[in-house]
Amino acid sequence: MVTGDGAYIKKLNRNFILGKIVEHGMISRAELSKVTGLNKATISVQVAELLDTELIFETQQEHNVVGRRPIMLSLNRKVGCVLGIDLDYKEITYTLSDLLGFPLFSDTYELNSSNYDEIRELIANQIKSYQIKSADRRYGLVSVVIAIHGTVGKDETIFFIPQHQWRNKNLKADLEKDIEISVHIENNANLCAFAEKIFKHHHSDNLLCISMYSGIGLGIIMDGEVIKGYHGYAGEMGHMVLFPDGLPCKCGNKGCWELYASEASLFSLLSQKMNKKDIGYQDIQHWINTREPEVCEHMNRFIKHLSIGLNNIINLYNPETIVLNSELLHLYPNAIEEIKANLTSSVSQYRELVISDLGKNASIMGACAFGIKKFLEIPELSLELSDRLLPIETK
Ligand SMILES: [Zn+2]
């Protein structure tokens, strides 16, 4: 920290104050002074500047019994939009949200190509159309955040997307060349963990989020910070070896966890065992309801394999909150109890284990929240979960 630098301290105060306004929803100047510990004169100057930027607005509280009704301050959620993009294997989802993470539009497009230039152009055109949709707001579209299902470096370059076979792509720079907007690239598991913290588990500073769809990705938040490792690739727990002589994995090893405990692994196994192509959640739900013996046996084994990996991760991080992001676990009766029953080691300790309520929306909600935090430049962000979650089609 540069002490004595007036402009720097002013900026820190501004960010801190704006963060508190977002956190409280509505707050008076007097309350702001109390919760920030800053004196009233500082609050007054900063609030005046924030009002000038239209990032906040004033309202008069309705129901105060006696005396002057205090003037309350709130974030002006409508002055700008952020765009979250989830770049998956077979589809791309776009969600435009306001500055409090409330979704305004959401579109999903099928993806029939893995060609980098084609996909870059598709994304660029969509960003431009969302810029037009946001043009009537004072700040327009302020930020674009793209969730990548692969490894992303600390400099936001894509190191590898296995399903598209992209290596060393600088999508951020390629898009920013064409469009005047700040683009951020993040790993989807990190964004899922970020979304769980921002929208659901506000007070958990040590949170692990495990996304278990096509592979298994781990987003790690420790002491309130996303942990990325040396290059930025930390969290590839799907490639933790469960069986040294197990199934061959695309990563080059054998017996990786995601070959036994991802949704895709179970879908493919059941498809083979039940002799049915393209099975979906509804099939599995039906088989669970009718207690199909073969399906029950494989589900049990799936839970067991999932628990072994969880045990290892818990030992590594001693987390406060573990969120399992899986649609499948919602279908399985008492999934959490069964997993907990397998976590019997007296050494591995955690506080809570839950299934995500955000589901497949987590990644894109995390992308929007990340864009909001970057734009507002606030140190900590907590947002309310909108009851208007836009559904994303599931398999
Ligand atoms: Zn592997």
Q: For residue 363, is it within any domain?
A: yes
- State whether 64 and 86 are in the same domain: no
Using alpha carbons, select from 59, 125, 122 the residue that is nearest to residue 87: 122
Give DSSP secondary structure letters for 251-291.
TS-BSBTHHHHSHHHHHHHHHHHTT-SS--HHHHHHHHHTT
Cα-based angle 50, 56, 58 (whole degrees, multiple of 5):
110
- State whether 17 and 166 are in the same domain: no
**Contact (CB, 8 A) for 94 and 101:** no
Question: Rounded to the nearest whole angstrom, what is the distance from the C-alpha of residue 35 to the centroid of ligand 1?
Answer: 48
Per-residue confidence (pLDDT) for residue 66, from 0 to 100: 65
In the chain, DSSP finds a helix count (H) and a strand count (E) of: 13, 16
The span from the CA of 22 to the CA of 315, in Å, is 35
Q: For residue 93, is it within any domain?
A: yes
Strands 321-325 and 71-75: unpaired
Q: For residue 88, is it within any domain?
A: yes
Q: How many structural domains comprise the chain? A: 2
Per-residue confidence (pLDDT) for residue 207, from 0 to 100: 98
Question: Rounded to the nearest whole angstrom, what is the distance from the C-alpha of residue 310 to the centroid of ligand 1?
Answer: 16
Tokens 């727990």 -> residue? 237
Question: Rounded to the nearest whole angstrom, what is the distance from the C-alpha of residue 3 to the centroid of ligand 1?
Answer: 48
- State whether 103 and 50 are in the same domain: no
Question: Rounded to the nearest whole angstrom, what is the distance from the C-alpha of residue 254 to the centroid of ligand 1?
Answer: 7
User: Rg of the chain's alpha carbons, rounded to an integer?
Assistant: 23
- Domain endpoint, select from 34, 50, 75: 75
Q: For residue 1, is it within any domain?
A: no
- State whether 280 and 389 are in the same domain: yes
The secondary structure of residue 239, as a DSSP letter, is G
- State whether 57 and 188 are in the same domain: no
Identify the CATH number of the domain in which residue 362 sits: 3.30.420.40
Q: For residue 64, is it within any domain?
A: yes
Instruction: Characterize 84-110 residue by residue with b for buried, 16 or more Cβ atoms within 10 angstroms of its Cβ, and e for exposed.
Output: bbbbbeeebbbbbbbbbbebeebebee
What beta strand segments (E) does the chain contain?
Answer: 27-28, 56-60, 71-75, 81-87, 91-97, 103-110, 141-148, 151-152, 158-161, 166-169, 183-187, 207-211, 217-222, 225-226, 321-325, 352-355
The secondary structure of residue 122, as a DSSP letter, is H
- State whether 54 and 190 are in the same domain: no
Question: Rounded to the nearest whole angstrom, what is the distance from the C-alpha of residue 274 to the centroid of ligand 1?
Answer: 26
Question: Rounded to the nearest whole angstrom, what is the distance from the C-alpha of residue 255 to the centroid of ligand 1?
Answer: 7
The span from the CA of 206 to the CA of 197, in Å, is 9
Q: For residue 328, is it within any domain?
A: yes
Question: Rounded to the nearest whole angstrom, what is the distance from the C-alpha of residue 251 to the centroid of ligand 1?
Answer: 4
- State whether 224 and 271 are in the same domain: yes
- Low-confidence residues of the chain, pLDDT below 50? 1-2, 390-395
Question: Rounded to the nearest whole angstrom, what is the distance from the C-alpha of residue 243 to the centroid of ligand 1?
Answer: 11
Q: For residue 213, is it within any domain?
A: yes
Residue 326 CA from chain centroid, whole number: 14
Using alpha carbons, select from 167, 206, 161, 214 the residue that is nearest to residue 187: 161
Per-residue confidence (pLDDT) for residue 4, from 0 to 100: 61
Q: For residue 379, is it within any domain?
A: yes
Alpha-carbon dihedral 97, 53, 14, 369, rounded to 10 degrees: 10
Question: Rounded to the nearest whole angstrom, what is the distance from the C-alpha of residue 233 to the centroid of ligand 1?
Answer: 14
* Structural domain for 50, as ranges: 6-75
**Contact (CB, 8 A) for 89 and 147:** no
Cβ–Cβ contacts within 10 Å for residue 159, how many?
17
Identify the CATH number of the domain in which residue 14 sits: 1.10.10.10
Per-residue confidence (pLDDT) for residue 163, from 0 to 100: 84
Question: Rounded to the nearest whole angstrom, what is the distance from the C-alpha of residue 256 to the centroid of ligand 1?
Answer: 5
Question: Rounded to the nearest whole angstrom, what is the distance from the C-alpha of residue 319 to the centroid of ligand 1?
Answer: 24
- State whether 363 and 349 are in the same domain: yes
The span from the CA of 23 to the CA of 42, in Å, is 19
Question: Rounded to the nearest whole angstrom, what is the distance from the C-alpha of residue 90 to the centroid of ligand 1?
Answer: 21
- State whether 35 and 89 are in the same domain: no
Tokens representing 185 are 């690239």
Question: Rounded to the nearest whole angstrom, what is the distance from the C-alpha of residue 1 to the centroid of ligand 1?
Answer: 42
Cα-based angle 205, 218, 358 (whole degrees, multiple of 5):
70
Question: Rounded to the nearest whole angstrom, what is the distance from the C-alpha of residue 238 to the centroid of ligand 1?
Answer: 7
- Domain endpoint, select from 33, 59, 75: 75
**Contact (CB, 8 A) for 196 and 210:** no
- State whether 120 and 71 are in the same domain: no
- State whether 199 and 231 are in the same domain: yes
- State whether 159 and 275 are in the same domain: yes
Per-residue confidence (pLDDT) for residue 63, from 0 to 100: 62
The span from the CA of 87 to the CA of 171, in Å, is 12
Per-residue confidence (pLDDT) for residue 381, from 0 to 100: 92
Question: Rounded to the nearest whole angstrom, what is the distance from the C-alpha of residue 187 to the centroid of ligand 1?
Answer: 17
Question: Rounded to the nearest whole angstrom, what is the distance from the C-alpha of residue 362 to the centroid of ligand 1?
Answer: 24
